[in-house]
Amino acid sequence: MTEPDLFAPEAVVVGQPKRSKWRTYRGPALAVSTVEGTPLAEVTDIDHTHFVLAEASGEVVVRIEKRSWAEPFQQFGPVRFHFADGADREIGAAVARGLVKSRQLSLRTEQGRRLLLTRLNPASVEWRLTEADPGSGDPSPEILGRVTVSTVDSWLGLQQYVVEMTPRLDASERRAFVASVVCLHLIRRPPGEGSGAA
């Protein structure tokens, strides 16, 4: 039986696996599954700066490297994420700027396509993937994808992100989109931080 294709579904769920508050958690930082719950991949935190998205077989899909300004000013500078494949070949990037870095991520795909993952207002639980900035005043840009966040365990503050993708995105663009959702989670809830979210 073959494994489901990670980038074939129109929607996947990226979320923090459930865990016990009383025991040390040693599982993946994030899990990727179908909406129905079929496991597709896991994200492993290597050292709080390097993360690996790998399928259940162990095959590396994306390596994510987080780069930011040195202390004490890193909260003011951009946070950059670089994406590489299993052979360490660069396949894209994401950048978050501003004081509220979870408002918008600028993405670059393997083919050089520029995309924006934007939350329209600070209270929204939805981000939209577009080619043009939704806040620029131009006519409404085409929505290529959506990310909706929810809390699946309010006691521990565990989060999950439903990632919806349109047919206008090819497999490599879907890969960059899913990787950017991992980045969004890392911006909102850095490893080792409490349950407060941006």
Average pLDDT of the segment spanning 9-14: 90
CB-based contacts of 153: which residues, under 8 Å, 6+ apart? 18
11-188: which CATH topology? Porin (2.40.160)
Whether pLDDT at 27 is above 90: no
This prediction's pTM: 0.88
Q: Please, are residues 65 and 186 in contact by the beta-carbon 8 Å criterion?
A: no
| Structure confidence at residue 136 (pLDDT) | 65
Average pLDDT of the segment spanning 155-165: 92
| Structure confidence at residue 74 (pLDDT) | 57
Whether pLDDT at 137 is above 60: yes
**Banded pLDDT at 194 (limits 50, 70, 90):** very low
| Structure confidence at residue 93 (pLDDT) | 95
